[in-house]
A and B are shown apart, each in its own frame.
Chain A
Amino acid sequence: MKIKIEGLGVDYGAHKALDDVSFEGNPGEVISVIGPNGSGKSTLIKCIAQVHRPSRGTVCLNDRDATSMDPNEIARLIGYVPQNFHYLFFSTVMETVLLGRKPHIKWRISPHDLEVVQDALDSMNIRAYAGKFMDQLSGGEKQKVYIARALAQEPELFLFDEPTSNLDLKHQIEVLEITRKLTKSRGASMIVALHDLNLAYTYSDAVIVLNKGRIYACGKPVDVLTPATIQAVYGVEAMIVESDFGRHIVPLKVKT
């Protein structure tokens, strides 16, 4: 999906959580948003998802202003997975993923809807849990279920707020690899807030570095994720190591 964010700003009283954020995204692109805690990553994702109303600025999806769209129309365009979610204690995994079909249905579930749900479960490798209850799952399993729910929504834009926060190493890589592949194959887009700089480096086409609600740097990972940027934004000295497997960011120590 074509995304155009212009002059986005969010005020909490006098505090500017986001200020003058502008960028563009093209179909098939994976954009990571990185930055220290409280830099406005979640707020930015929420504003794009239309879950949070910005104080200023516009979000254009496929050249249309999102604020003028019907909520159900947005629901068919954007699949959002928040960082904190409520657990559906008495719902099964299948039912939770089925929620993703809500924008596409009126009342009845068609065989096609169930197929989409099955595909979503298969993509995340969690069909074995389909009949399990949400409160019987581990934190990481739940996170994958919620991502599968967004997949079942069949949106043109995925918005993930730290989708790997509850996952172990293997599943972090797995989730990002799968979602990236799906984004590419569906011609969708993906904006993902991440803490891990190496994951951001490996899996994104563009990186946005937020600092205190403003864009500090924005561009290709190789240009943006430099020791200078990391030091300026995180206050951490880092070095880049080249190996046979690519470039790796190695944090060294807190800059005093």
Chain B
Amino acid sequence: MQETGESRAEWKEVNELYRQRYLKRLALLGTISALLVLAVLYSASVGTAPLSIGDVFLAVMHNIAVKTAGIPLIGQLFALFGEPQSGTAEVIVVNMRLPRIMLAMLTGVCLAVSGAVMQGVLRNPLVSPFTLGLASAASFGAAITIVLGTGILGLFIAGGSNYDIIINAFVFGLLSMMLIYGISRVRGTSQATLILAGVVLGYIFQAGVIILKYWSNNDKLKDLEMWLMGGMWGASWNAVLILLPIAIVCIVLLALKAWDLNALSAGDEIARNLGIRVERLRLYCLLLATIAASSCLAFTGVVGFIGLMAPHICRMLIGNDHRYLIPCSALMGGLILLLSDTFARTVFSPLEIPVGIIMYIIGGIFFLYLILRGKESHIY
């Protein structure tokens, strides 16, 4: 151990250091939030029919004014803003772009938070909703409905709406977690067991998807492939209204476990010594992370890498303290996926490419960069 040149008197006060870190982190969260707001405004203004950001703002305000017209004060307040210049702006922004923006953000938020929590709980930076077999299971669920035209237990009949695909994908996503839970009841909840179980289940479900692909005809194969590529086509206010409460509840419950997750990252034994019921915490967090991730995946199809990349970036930016890491991952996930989806729908406009493909490209490049950059990866 080398002696440091500083004398004791020059050592930094811990409370000063803590305050510095705290302010830095707040500034970082503020910056990402601001970027997210800008990204939303930008995304709402670009597309086949470009709008000015002012019009986007007025369109939203006018829409709220119309909806709240009956309420005194609030309705009048929003009515002050007036109408957008472009007559179609309100329909385009409120009915088409905003739901899609919301869905992209929510998906990014949920996948990133669930990735961050899974990485923390299993102390493995390469874990994500995908390594644990969740995406494969959800794909299998969707594939069953798309190809065989039947939902879970045959209760739902395909064709009526997309909801049977969504429900089936969600149910199978949860099922993967239940299976992992079952395995852990037999073999214990060590990280190795859980990761291995997830990987193995992922392969089995993937095999199921391939069998279903083999059986399916051209039309269904196209539908299935589109689902597997992942995209925000399913965006609607209904989807947002279903996902929003699920996302909020799951993320708040997970964020409340931040201290426990911090302790767990020091190892099972130290976590136990700090008063944490390790097995219970692991399963609780994995279950909530699975619910959040699979409910989003059910609507969007497979959107990879975001659950791996966003927490990774945030760990480098803000550190391992889950009190900041979870909100940071949420914002970062929302930001990255929103920008990617905006890019996906505008780059070859009016043609769209699935955002899932964009994520594979960005994710691949990001991890190549990490490998080339080497070990020194603390930014903050």
Give residues in A with beta carbon < 8 Å to B: 46, 49-51, 70-76, 78-82, 84-86, 88-92, 94-96, 99-100, 102-103, 105, 107, 109, 111, 114-115, 117-118, 121, 127-131, 133, 135, 138, 140-141, 144, 146, 149, 153, 168, 171
B115 to chain A, nearest CB (A): 15
Given contacts A88-B265, A109-B18, A111-B15, contact A51 B273 (CB under 8 A): yes
Closest to B321 in A: A95
Contact string against A for B residues 2-42, beta-carbon threshold 8 Å, 1 for contact and 0 otherwise: 00101010011111011001000000000000000000000
Question: How many B residues are at the interface, by size bracket?
Answer: 35 or more
- Contact (Cβ within 8 A) B274 A75: yes
Q: Is the CB of B11 within 8 A of A127?
A: yes
Is A90 in contact with B259, judged by CB distance below 8 angstroms?
no
User: What are some 11 contacts across the A-B interface (CB < 8 A)?
Assistant: A70-B275, A73-B275, A75-B274, A90-B320, A90-B378, A102-B262, A103-B274, A117-B14, A128-B6, A129-B4, A138-B1
Residues of B within 8 A of A103 (CB): 274-275
Which residues of B line the A interface, CB within 8 A?
1, 4, 6, 8, 11-15, 17-18, 21, 123, 125, 259, 262-263, 265-267, 269-270, 272-277, 315-316, 319-321, 323, 375, 378
A76 CA to B375 CA in the complex, in Å? 36
List the B side residues contacting A78 at CB < 8 Å. Answer: 273
Q: Would A90 and B315 be within 8 Å (CB), given that A99-B266, A128-B4, A171-B1 are in contact?
A: yes
Most chain A CB inside 10 Å of its own CB: which residue of B6, B15, B21, B272: B272
CB distance from B171 to the nearest CB of A (A): 34
Once the chains bind, are A130 and B266 in contact (CB under 8 Å)? no
- Most chain B beta-carbon neighbours within 10 Å: one of A70, A105, A114: A114
Residues of A within 8 A of B267 (CB): 82, 84-86
With A and B bound together, what is the CA distance between A168 and B316 in angstroms? 32
Contact, CB under 8 Å: A89 / B273 = no
The closest CB in chain B to the CB of A111 belongs to B15
Assess the A130–B259 pair: CB atoms within 8 A: no
Bound form: Cα–Cα A79–B14 in Å: 21
Q: What separation, in Å, do the CA atoms of A76 and B273 have in the docked complex?
A: 9
Of the candidates A72, A75, A115, A129, the one having the most CB atoms from chain B within 10 angstroms of its own CB is A75
The answer on a CB contact under 8 Å between A128 and B17 is no
Q: How far is the CB of B319 from chain A (nearest CB, A)?
A: 5
Using known A-B contacts A114-B14, A127-B11, determine if residue A86 contacts B266 with beta carbons closer than 8 Å.
Answer: yes
Closest to B4 in A: A128
From B1, B274, B375, A99 is in contact (CB under 8 Å) with B274
Contacts of A81 in B (CB 8 A): 270
**When the two chains form their complex, are residues B275 and A71 in contact, meaning their CB atoms are under 8 A apart?**
yes
Among residues of A, the one whose C-beta sits closest to the C-beta of B275 is: A75
Q: Which residues of A contact B266 (CB under 8 A)?
A: 85-86, 88, 96, 99, 149
Query: Bound state CA distance, A95 and B258, in angstroms?
Result: 13
Contact in complex: A99, B15 (CB < 8 Å): no
| Complex contacts, A96 vs chain B, CB 8 Å | 266
B270 & A85 in contact (Cβ 8 Å cutoff): yes
Nearest neighbor of A128 in chain B, beta-carbon distance: B4
Shortest CB-to-CB span from B277 to chain A, Å, is: 6
- A149 neighbours in B (Cβ, 8 Å): 266, 270
| B2 nearest CB neighbor, chain A only | A138
Which residues of chain B come closer than 8 Å to A114, judged between CB atoms?
A: 14-15, 18
Instruction: Give the most central of B6, B277, B316, B378: most A CB within 10 Å.
Output: B378
* Chain A: minimal CB distance from B342 (Å): 30
Identify the closest chain B residue to A159 (Cβ).
Answer: B273
On chain A, the residues within 8 Å of B269 by CB distance are 46, 49, 51, 80, 82, 85
- Across-interface contacts of A89 in B (CB, < 8 A): 125, 320
Counting from the closest, the 3 A-B pairs by CB-CB distance are A75-B275, A72-B275, A86-B267
Residue of A nearest to B273 (CB): A80
Q: Closest approach, in angstroms, between the C-beta of A222 and any C-beta of chain B?
A: 32
Residues A127 and B12 in contact in the complex (CB < 8 Å), given A85-B266, A95-B321? yes
Contacts of B270 in A (CB 8 A): 80-82, 85, 99, 146, 149
Determine the chain B residues whose CB is within 8 A of the CB of A135 once the complex forms.
375
Query: What is the CB-to-nearest-CB distance from B98 to chain A, in angstroms, rounded to a whole number?
Result: 34
Instruction: Give 20 new A-B contacts, CB below 8 A, not counting A49-B269, A80-B269, A146-B270.
Output: A50-B272, A51-B272, A51-B273, A71-B275, A73-B275, A80-B273, A82-B270, A85-B269, A85-B270, A86-B266, A86-B267, A92-B21, A94-B21, A95-B321, A99-B262, A99-B274, A114-B15, A121-B14, A127-B14, A131-B17
